[in-house]
């Protein structure tokens, strides 16, 4: 059996979104799981839709996830070039051959005529489709006009019988040929359409399995017939279920389109994203919900891919991200905290940041972080003299009234003022604050919220004793006084 070769063939029309990347993940995983090769090919046949920078975004997205390719535009390979705009002669040759063999024809219909035709069809409630005006043009006339007019090359679909797609995920899908349309294979600008380029490239690049999104399934008969007309053996096909947004529609520019790189910027981990993506449509067994890259590559199999669309559930991604964050080793975690703090703390805070301080809070943050983007907001209170701004009402929210809050603040002030700067550490803080239970006749867990708010501006965050110890005597006392004033 020949080795499996799959490819990811995005068009450079912007930052790839997660649905698109998921296709890459599956194609890659299938190749790797079977000891095959994975290729990257750029499908830039639509010159009008090119977006500068897209190719770099594709590389970056793939590399971030740890998806590696054996052949591609950047590293070359035996079937270079891997960019379709650099392979035009191949497609044009294929089109010419098709014409010579009577399997395709030049079409001189203008875009305007085509539009009018479709409008008329739709008005008459007829199914839209090319009406075949140029299908039977005499070859001499076609030849002559080709010197004078622009033309496209249309493929002559067989209009009788059926075409059967043997899909790896869905089984046999049958299409009536009578309903098929003569599609454009080569555009008037000399560029191929996806359909032609696909066949030419997948064949030449020895692709064994075409793995693509479900939106391609209806054009499968075109591809199958093209392969057939060109006397080529088609690849196997696997049409992946769509990833849909909250509205249950395909992820797209219009509907919750989310570029993978947005998640990178948001502080998601590649391992979490990979884990998340691969379980959208595939499963290892009835139990596994956490899966490593290694396990994935050892066990991925295309026949465990389901056919129904999957919803992109951010809650699930967040859980996985938190899970993977907790797996990070202490030193690496300190580095992440440092990097993300440097990057995301307000610019008003002087850089470079105090590394020792960050190393001190890092462990406190570890269990409380879902995305790396959460880091900076949870530690800003440690920088600067004042606590972040807060609504004074939150001070007394949990203790039942302003006077209670005042009583608590006064007691805390008294107790903490008694600790001198030299003895100001976590143990002393704990002793002093716990010691308030007696005089206040109140449980620590009850009154502590007042202190949290006074110190860090909100009632939840990293542990109080650590916070005030790190903050130091002056800033702690001044924040407590400030809170006290706010209540007057």
Can residue 85 be called a binding residue for RNA (CB under 7 A)? Answer: no
The binder of RNA chosen from 23, 34, 37, 152 (CB under 7 A): 152
Query: Could you report how far apart the first and last alpha carbons of the chain are, in Å?
Result: 82
Q: Binding to RNA by residue 19, rule CB under 7 A?
A: no
Q: Which parts of 241-300 interact with RNA (CB under 7 A)?
A: 241-242, 244, 248-250, 255, 279-281, 283, 285-287, 289
Tell me, yes or no, if 97 is annotated catalytic: no
- Which listed residue (123, 174, 233, 329) binds RNA by CB under 7 A? 174
Distance CA 413, CA 426 (A): 16
CB of 208 to RNA, least distance (A): 19
Nearer to RNA, 171 or 352 (CB): 171
Alpha helices in 418-472 (DSSP H): 426-434, 437-440, 444-456, 464-471
Distance between CA 191 and CA 89 in Å, rounded?
A: 9
- Least distance in angstroms from the C-beta of 219 to RNA: 5
- Nearest distance from C-beta of residue 412 to RNA, angstroms: 13
Task: Using CB under 7 A, pick the residue from 331, 351, 441, 445 that binds RNA.
Answer: 445
**Binding residues with RNA: total (CB under 7 A):** 89
Q: Output the smallest distance, CB 293 to RNA, in A.
A: 18
Q: Which two tokens stand for residue 183?
A: 């599609």
Residue nearer to RNA on the CB measure, 315 or 488: 315
Q: Quick check: helix, strand or coil at residue 338?
A: helix
The answer to whether 308 contacts RNA (rule: CB under 7 A) is: yes
Between residue 194 and residue 213, which ones bind RNA under the rule CB under 7 A?
194
Smallest separation (angstroms) from RNA to the CB of 480? 15
Residue 314: Cβ within 10 Å count = 14
Of 248, 273, 241, nearest in space to 259 by CA: 273
Q: Which of 183, 167, 56 is nearest to 114 (CA)?
A: 183
Residues with Cβ within 8 Å of 314's Cβ and at least 6 positions away in sequence, in order, are none
Backbone angles phi, psi at 369, to 5 degrees: -115, 125
Alpha carbon distance 169, 238 (integer Å): 6
Restricting to residues 369-428, which ones interact with RNA according to CB under 7 A?
none
SS3 of residue 7 by DSSP: strand
According to CB under 7 A, which one of 60, 188, 228, 402 is a site residue for RNA? Answer: 188
Q: How far is the CB of 296 from RNA (least distance, A)?
A: 14
Q: Out of 159, 166, 460, 472, point to the residue binding RNA (CB under 7 A).
A: 460
Among 463, 465, 386, residue whose Cα is nearest residue 424 = 465
Tokens of 11: 């068009």
- Using CB under 7 A, pick the residue from 74, 101, 339, 367 that binds RNA: 367
Which of 114, 264, 413, 442 binds RNA (CB under 7 A)? It is: 114
CA 396 to chain centroid, in Å, comes to 43
Structure tokens at 77: 């390979």
CA angle 9, 48, 73 (to 5 degrees): 30
Catalytic option among 125, 159, 187, 253 = 253
Q: Which of 87, 98, 105, 181 binds RNA (CB under 7 A)?
A: 181
Q: Closest separation between CB of residue 246 and RNA, Å?
A: 9
In whole angstroms, give the CA distance from residue 415 to residue 477: 10
Which range, of 28-36, 44-52, 59-67, 88-96, touches RNA by CB under 7 A?
Answer: 44-52
Sign of CA dihedral 120, 125, 130, 134: negative
**Of the residues 61, 193, 371, 380, which one makes contact with RNA according to CB under 7 A:** 193
Binding mask 131-150 for RNA (x = CB under 7 A): -------------------x
Nearer to RNA, 97 or 446 (CB): 446
Buried b (16+ CB within 10 A) or exposed e, 58-87: bebbbebbebebebbbeeebeeeebbbbeb
The distance of closest approach from Cβ of residue 351 to RNA in the complex, given in angstroms and rounded to an integer, is: 27
Element (H, E) at 310: strand 310-311
Among the residue ranges 109-117, 137-145, 339-347, 402-410, the one whose residues contact RNA (CB under 7 A): 109-117
- 322 near RNA, judged by CB under 7 A: yes
Q: Mind telling me the catalytic residues?
A: 253
């Amino acid at each position: 059996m020949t080795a499996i070769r799959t490819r990811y063939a995005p068009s450079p029309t912007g930052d790839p979104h997660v649905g698109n990347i998921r296709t890459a993940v599956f194609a890659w995983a299938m190749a790797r799981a079977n000891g095959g090769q994975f290729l990257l090919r750029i499908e830039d046949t639509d010159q009008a839709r090119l977006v500068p920078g897209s190719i770099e975004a594709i590389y970056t997205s793939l590399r971030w996830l740890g998806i590696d390719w054996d052949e591609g535009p950047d590293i070359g390979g035996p079937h270079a070039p891997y960019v379709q705009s650099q392979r035009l002669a191949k497609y044009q040759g294929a089109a010419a051959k098709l014409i010579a063999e009577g399997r395709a024809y030049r079409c001189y219909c203008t875009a305007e005529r085509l539009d009018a035709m479709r409008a008329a069809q739709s008005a008459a409630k007829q199914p839209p489709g090319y009406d075949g005006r140029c299908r039977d043009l005499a070859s001499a006339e076609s030849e002559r006009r080709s010197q004078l007019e622009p033309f496209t090359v249309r493929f002559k679909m067989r209009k009788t019988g059926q075409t059967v797609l043997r899909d790896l995920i869905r089984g046999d899908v049958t299409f009536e040929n009578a309903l098929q349309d003569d599609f454009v294979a080569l555009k008037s600008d000399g560029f191929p359409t996806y359909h032609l380029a696909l066949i030419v490239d997948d064949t030449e690049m020895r692709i064994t399995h075409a793995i693509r999104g479900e939106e391609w399934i209806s054009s499968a008969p075109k591809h199958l017939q093209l392969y057939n007309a060109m006397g080529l053996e088609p690849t196997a096909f696997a049409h992946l279920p769509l990833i849909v947004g909250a509205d249950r529609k395909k992820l797209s520019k219009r509907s919750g389109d989310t570029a993978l790189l947005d998640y990178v910027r948001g502080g998601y981990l590649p391992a979490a994203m990979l884990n998340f993506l691969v379980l959208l449509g595939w499963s290892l067994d009835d139990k596994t919900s956490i899966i490593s890259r290694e396990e994935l590559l050892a066990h991925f199999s295309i026949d465990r891919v389901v056919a129904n669309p999957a919803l992109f559930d951010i809650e699930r991604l967040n859980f996985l991200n938190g899970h993977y964050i907790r797996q990070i080793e202490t030193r690496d975690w300190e580095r992440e905290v440092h990097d993300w703090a440097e990057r995301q703390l307000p610019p008003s805070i002087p850089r470079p940041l105090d590394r020792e301080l960050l190393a001190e809070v890092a462990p406190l943050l570890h269990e409380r972080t879902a995305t790396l983007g959460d880091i900076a907001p949870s530690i800003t209170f440690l920088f600067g003299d004042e606590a972040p701004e807060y609504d004074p009402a939150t001070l007394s929210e949990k203790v039942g009234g302003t006077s209670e809050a005042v009583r608590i603040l006064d007691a805390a002030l008294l107790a903490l003022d008694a600790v001198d700067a030299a003895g100001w550490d976590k143990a002393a803080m704990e002793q002093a604050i716990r010691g308030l239970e007696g005089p206040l006749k109140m449980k620590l867990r009850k009154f502590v919220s007042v202190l949290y708010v006074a110190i860090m501006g909100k009632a939840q965050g990293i542990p109080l004793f650590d916070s005030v110890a790190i903050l130091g005597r002056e800033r702690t006392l001044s924040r407590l006084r400030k809170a006290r004033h706010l209540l007057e």
